[in-house]
Amino acid sequence: MNTATEISNSKVRIEDLHKTYLVKGGRTVALQDVNLTIGKDEFIALLGPSGCGKSTLLRIISALIKPSSGKVLISDEQILAPSRDIGIVFQQAVLLPWRNILDNVLLPAEILRLDMKKARERAYQLLKMVGLEGFEKRSPNELSGGMQQRAAICRALVHNPSMLLMDEPFAALDAMTREELGFELLRIWDIEKKTIIFVTHNIPEAILLADRVVAMSPRPGRISEIIEIDLPRPRTQGMEFTPEFKAYSDFIRDKIGH
């Protein structure tokens, strides 16, 4: 099992990150000594038990919150404010109910004051790529949960960021839709070439998607293990039943004590 990788072409460098939240009557250490280098266009799965600090780490990388100490560099620049070069997908699609699907996808382009003609072309192209062609003018509540999450992915990509941060994006979906969207995400990643950080609790999902699985320990969150997933790409249905996959799964389960 390969757990040590040299990253020659780095996109993200996380250095000595600590995060302590001040809470009533004390403090919660959410992250401690987190160091990680992520390669350009790499697919990272951030795996760990509930409360180990995965969302906190994602929020620090996207500069939605500040670390207590340490820093995050993206393309060699320290991140101090939210960057337009990042797209974020959360567990819930949170589409605005009064806007149709196309206008929801276009929201970041409006906020960033991009050329709306070009943005509209891109939105149509993205919606087509995720199988939502013909649904552009529908309202979000006319779409299934999986379709809404597809639209949320398009919204995160419309301004063509080089990084995609995904916080348990498929956790609210049923198992079949979840798997389907996983493969769809891999297809998008193959076409669009992004650096992806994908938070999940789900070991098979992490193995199926990622180049490397970064396993975190329970609070205070630290990186306990980094496992390179040397399965061939494209990843396919049925791979989960191979002995190689099972070996990764057993190894990770053993390491994180599941």
Ligand X SMILES: Nc1ncnc2c1ncn2[C@@H]1O[C@H](COP(=O)(O)OP(=O)(O)OP(=O)(O)O)[C@@H](O)[C@H]1O
**Closest approach of Cβ 222 to ligand X, in Å?**
12
Binder to ligand X among 10, 20, 28, 92 (CB under 6 A)? 28
Binder to ligand X among 16, 21, 78, 96 (CB under 6 A)? 21
Q: Is the peptide bond before 82 cis (omega within 30 degrees of 0)?
A: no
Closer residue to ligand X in complex, CB, 8/50: 50
- How far lies 131's CA from each of 36, 96, 127, 184, in Å? 35, 20, 6, 10
**Closest approach of Cβ 48 to ligand X, in Å?**
6
Strands 212-216 and 43-47, sheet pairing: parallel
Of the CA atoms within 13 Å of residue 40, those in its CB half-sphere come to 7
Q: Does 30 bind ligand X (CB under 6 A)?
A: yes
**Closest approach of Cβ 88 to ligand X, in Å?**
14
Are 214 and 46 in contact by the 8 Å Cβ rule? The answer is: yes
Q: Is the peptide bond before 220 cis (omega within 30 degrees of 0)?
A: yes
**Closest approach of Cβ 242 to ligand X, in Å?**
28
Closer residue to ligand X in complex, CB, 18/40: 18
Interaction with ligand X in 183-222: which residues (CB under 6 A)?
A: 219
Interaction with ligand X in 124-183: which residues (CB under 6 A)?
A: none
Which residues touch 220 (CB under 8 Å, ≥6 apart)?
A: 29, 30, 31, 32, 53
**What does the alpha-carbon distance between residue 90 and residue 135 come to, in Å, rounded to a whole number?**
21
Interaction with ligand X in 53-112: which residues (CB under 6 A)?
A: 53-56
**Closest approach of Cβ 56 to ligand X, in Å?**
3
DSSP H helical segments within the chain, as ranges?
54-61, 101-105, 107-111, 116-129, 145-157, 175-192, 203-209, 243-256
Closer residue to ligand X in complex, CB, 26/238: 26
**Closest approach of Cβ 100 to ligand X, in Å?**
30
Closest CA to 41 of 189, 230, 209: 189
Closer residue to ligand X in complex, CB, 55/177: 55
Return residues touching ligand X (CB under 6 A): 21, 23, 28, 30, 48, 50-56, 219
